[in-house]
Amino acid sequence: MTDLALSDRSLDTLKLDAVIVGVAQKDDELIMLDGAESLEPGELLEMLKLVGARGTEGEVTRVGRAGATPPVVIAVGLGSAGDDDSVHAEPFDTERVRKAAGAAIRATNGMAHVATTLAGVNGGTDPELVQAVGEGLMLGGYTFGEYRSEQPKPADLPAKKVTLAVDKARAAANTTALKRAVKISEAVAIARDLVNTPPNDLYPDSFAKRAKALGAPLGVKAEILDEKQLASGGYGGILAVGGGSDRKPRLLRLTWAPAGVRRGTPSVALVGKGITFDSGGISIKPAANMDLMKTDMAGAAAVMAATLLAAALELPLRVVATIPLAENLPSGSAYRPSDVVVHRGGKKSEILNTDAEGRVVLADAIARACEDGPDYLIETATLTGAQVVALGERTAGVMGSEEFRDRVADAGTCVGEAAWPMPLPQDVRDGMKSKTADIANIGKGPGGMLAAGHYLKEFVAEGVQWAHIDIAGPSYNKASAYGYVAEGATGTPVRTILHVLEDIVAAG
């Protein structure tokens, strides 16, 4: 990933290949934003106008300056700057700046060292913008090339180093903000790497061992239950879903429990769906796009990365992640439609569709997580195609306890991981009645995302505030990169979970 640094020196004193500056629209005119004073902004603005720059959000324009330092300017658009006499009538929020940094870094391929003035677009240097720029640069420049025979050449990779131009006034705060950006970006990259890894290398046991190895240096304790321990522990859902594969299921438990946590501080349980490959089982999926089912463990990857991030940031609260891991494959030992599964805690589920397997493994994990008596439970999963139908590929659906559900959805929107609160109507739950068991694993009729939420709700203990985040669409970007979102895995909702954890700490 790109190395980041801070500097309060004039840009023309640094040895740079290019500088990234912000531009915007005001009264339908292109304007240069703060921070570019040492670059002859008037002349630069005219050059940008001549080549057609408009300043729209995400637009990237490169211009060369013969004999000047630095020799290349990369202008990235932040959209409207308002329409009154003040350039900053509408200050640029962190998400716009984060997206701009992500878009701009992809125009630096082959460069060794560039600088950017984006942290100063609102005038002066704002540590919040320092963090946003840092995240945008690192996440926007993310690449995954581990399985290519020929490693990418420098000309195909973003700049090795980016220096953020800042003022001297808030040096300590800016340094802290940049370090935070790096830790957050590294955690998101861990989640992205896991989701992008092919399923022949990432399966239940290897996922669990990777997580244990990553967590150990941070003080995160790991417990891994194998198939024998799952059987003796009554984890019927995980065993059923994983029964069709030769690579047996696991339950991973990660614990961040720092010393000295203030008495009365709430505890948080995290749960993430870890289906390392999903063929649909006996209810097999169509062949088209089945390759994308390597991503069906994105919830597990996000929860694991968020737990590591809580440790890296030394958050003063107890966080326990419970992650069910299984491959859903068809075979003579696979579970079948009409089977009845006995979950952890004794609740019985009639299986009507083996491709609705995520909720079946999550039920066991949620039941186990609630045995710890957490105050809050956040669960995330690539759970339903119905989420994509309802909300598209970039907005997660959030269900759960109404107050906490809304809190989680607001957190997602705040950090740029769009989320929308969804209801749990009683009529949808009525459609999940089973003549054989306590509940069926699918409902009758439309509302598949809501039916999945109802199923999970059955296993949440009384008094636990909980939220389920369906990331079937937002977890993976099948299109070209945009903003700071790379092609492939997105790492959603690691930053949402962090925001909620820190909000819980702040609220006491």
Q: Which CATH number fits the domain that encloses residue 431?
A: 3.40.630.10
pLDDT, position 83:
60
Classify residue 181: in a domain, yes or no. Answer: no
Enter the tokens of residue 204.
């239940």
pLDDT, position 150:
87
pLDDT, position 90:
55
| Domain co-membership, 18 together with 135 | yes
Q: Which helix (H) or strand (E) holds 64?
A: strand 60-64
Catalytic residue of the set 26, 248, 273, 359: 359
Residues 221-274: tens digit of each pLDDT? 999 999 999 999 999 999 999 999 999 999 999 999 999 888 888 999 999 999
Contact (Cβ atoms closer than 8 angstroms) between residue 453 and residue 420 = no
Enter the tokens of residue 313.
């940031």
| Domain co-membership, 430 together with 319 | yes
Residue 253 a catalytic site member: no
Classify residue 38: in a domain, yes or no. Answer: yes
Which segments of 51-170 does DSSP mark as H helices, in order? 94-105, 127-140
Enter the tokens of residue 446.
């439309």
Cα R_g (the chain), whole angstroms = 24
| Domain co-membership, 329 together with 434 | yes
CA distance 88 to 114: 26
pLDDT, position 2:
87
Residue 407 a catalytic site member: no
pLDDT, position 89:
44
Catalytic residue of the set 285, 348, 394, 457: 285
Contact (Cβ atoms closer than 8 angstroms) between residue 285 and residue 279 = yes
Tell the residue number behind the tokens 């696979």, with chain if given.
Answer: 334
| Domain co-membership, 152 together with 202 | no
Among 106, 135, 169, give the residue marking a domain's end: 169
Classify residue 175: in a domain, yes or no. Answer: no
Tell the residue number behind the tokens 């068809």, with chain if given.
Answer: 330
CA distance 219 to 70: 44
| Domain co-membership, 215 together with 163 | no
CA distance 98 to 310: 22
Q: How many CB atoms lie within 10 A of CB 13?
A: 10
Enter the tokens of residue 225.
């239950």
For the packed helices 494-507 and 171-196, what is the interaxial angle rounded to 10 degrees?
Answer: 130
Classify residue 361: in a domain, yes or no. Answer: yes
Cα separations (Å) of 369 from 251, 259, 359, 460? 11, 21, 15, 9
| Domain co-membership, 57 together with 15 | yes
State pTM to two decimals.
0.96
pLDDT, position 86:
47
Contact (Cβ atoms closer than 8 angstroms) between residue 348 and residue 342 = yes
| Domain co-membership, 133 together with 258 | no
| Domain co-membership, 389 together with 352 | yes
| Domain co-membership, 191 together with 163 | no
pLDDT, position 155:
85
Specify the number of domains making up the chain. Answer: 2
The CATH number of the domain where 128 resides is what?
3.40.220.10
**Positions of E strands within 176-287:** 221-225, 250-256, 268-272, 274-278
| Domain co-membership, 117 together with 53 | yes
- What residues make up the domain containing 33? 3-169
Peptide bond into 154 cis (omega under 30): no
For the packed helices 358-370 and 448-457, what is the interaxial angle rounded to 10 degrees?
Answer: 30
Mean pLDDT in runs of 10 for the chain (508 residues)?
91 92 93 85 91 96 90 96 56 95 97 96 90 98 91 88 93 96 98 98 98 98 98 98 98 96 90 98 97 98 98 97 98 98 98 98 98 98 97 98 98 97 97 97 95 98 98 97 97 98 93
Cα separations (Å) of 179 from 143, 175, 188? 21, 6, 14
Q: Which helix (H) or strand (E) holds 453?
A: helix 448-457
| Domain co-membership, 9 together with 56 | yes
